[in-house]
Each structure stands twice: as structure tokens, then as C-alpha cells.
Chain A
Amino acid sequence: QVQLVESGGGVVQPGRSLRLSCAASGFTFSDYVIHWVRQAPGKGLEWVAIVSYDGSNKYSADSVRGRFTISRDNSNNTLYLQMNSLRTEDTAVYYCARGRCSSSSCWAPYQHYYMDVWGKGTSVTVSS
């Protein structure tokens, strides 16, 4: 069945780095854009980043731009989130989510996508 499985979370000190992975199965990975979304403890959802079908286009939220990098390896059906210079406010559960277009404008900068399949998430705690 269609599935996304995140991994790589853990406890890390402020200023350090961490790389999250998201393994996809049950669908043609390269046919979809993919999002990262996070949720801080007890808080709402926050969009983090999106990557295009072939990985050539990437967009991210102001809160992580310059620190986090989204990428993908279509040969291994895997999405990544490289997180550098981590801050305590980056503490959250990180979800990867498959993106689908809801309009006829389905090209960069990918403004018309929703999240139709979600992984279970991986927890990241930034603490000294």
C-alpha cells in the first residue's frame, strides 16, 4: 500500500545538525512532489519545505530557509531533510507528506498542492 516512513529523528544539541529520511513505497515516487511538515509539542502544523518531482526545485519556509535543505533520491525512493544550525524552536515531530495538485497550475513554484498521504512522523528534540 502507499506508505511514507520517516526516520532519523533524535535528541541533538543546539547548533548541531541532523538528517531526516523519508522512505516511500507503494507508488511511483518520482511522479509526486513531497512536503516536509512539522508540529511542535502541543502546537499546530507548520509547513517546512517542498521539493519538485525531479528535485530541481525546492522551496522552504522563512523559519528554516538557509538552515534546512530538502532533497530527494528518486532511484532509492527517498526524501531527505538536512537540518543544520538547529535551534530549540526546531523541536517537533517532522512529517513527510505526498503532494498532489488541486488546480491546472501544477508547476513551479508549486502553489497549488495539498498533502494526500502522510507518514507517521519522526521526533526531533533540540536541547542542551
Chain B
Amino acid sequence: QSVLTQPPSVSGAPGQRVTISCTGSSSNIGAGYDVHWYQQFTGTAPKLLIYGSNNRPSGVPDRFSGSKSGTSASLAITGLQAEDEADYYCQSYDNSLSGYVFGTGTKVTVL
């Protein structure tokens, strides 16, 4: 079972803004560890989307942004597009487990 909780699904119309939450605890996000986000299309490998809580790798559209506060983090997608339909995972480190942890994953649906 994951220690980082995400909503199972979020949806929005094209052009809208959606946010995905990633709720942790004092042993991971709350302990100051960065949060990173990955995008995964069905049947393919994950792809890095956001690193260091709010940094985008080269090539990732600026429609994607990340934030972190306390024991939680969020991924925002503005100007939602059909090609954004995918699964999204947050990731951090947990010092009580002494290992990396992923969120439960969120499926984004474009209506």
C-alpha cells in the first residue's frame, strides 16, 4: 500500500484546469523531501513531468506545474488537452520506510 495518496481520477473539458493532489505525511513530503511527478500512457513507460516539486524538464509544456506545501503536493494542468489523458504519479522519499515511495496514481480523463 502506498503512503502517498492521490485521487483515483480527475476529469475536465478541453481548455479547463485540473489539479491532482498528493497527500503524504511527516515522514515523506512533510519531512522536506522533494516531490516529483510522472506521466504514464497506457502500455508505455512513465515519463518525468515535474522534478524538485516545481521544475519542468526540457520539452514538458508549461501547462504543467507543481507545488508543495506541508505534507502535500499538487500537480496542475492548465489548458487541458486531449493528449493529456494518462495516469499521473507523484513520488518522494520516506525516511521511516527508508525508501522511495510513489503515489497511488490518478487517471486524467478529458471530457
Contact = CB atoms under 8 A, between A and B. Distances in A.
Given A46-B102, A114-B91, A102 B34 contact: yes
A95 B100 contact: no
B102 A111 contact: no
Contacts of A62: 97, 99
A59 interface: yes
A50 B93 CA distance: 12
Given A62-B97, A100-B51, A109-B98, A44 B103 contact: yes
Residue among A44, A95, A109, A113 with the most chain B CB within 10 A?
Answer: A44
Interface size band for B: 20 to 34
10 contacts: A45-B46, A45-B91, A45-B105, A95-B46, A97-B46, A102-B34, A111-B95, A112-B33, A114-B51, A120-B44
A127 B95 CA distance: 33
Q: Which 5 residue pairs of A and B lie closest in terms of their CB atoms, listed nearest first?
A: A47-B100, A114-B36, A102-B52, A118-B45, A45-B102
Interface in B1-43: 2, 33-34, 36, 38, 40
Residue among A35, A100, A103, A115 with the most chain B CB within 10 A?
Answer: A115
A60 interface: yes
B34 A112 contact: yes
B109 interface: no
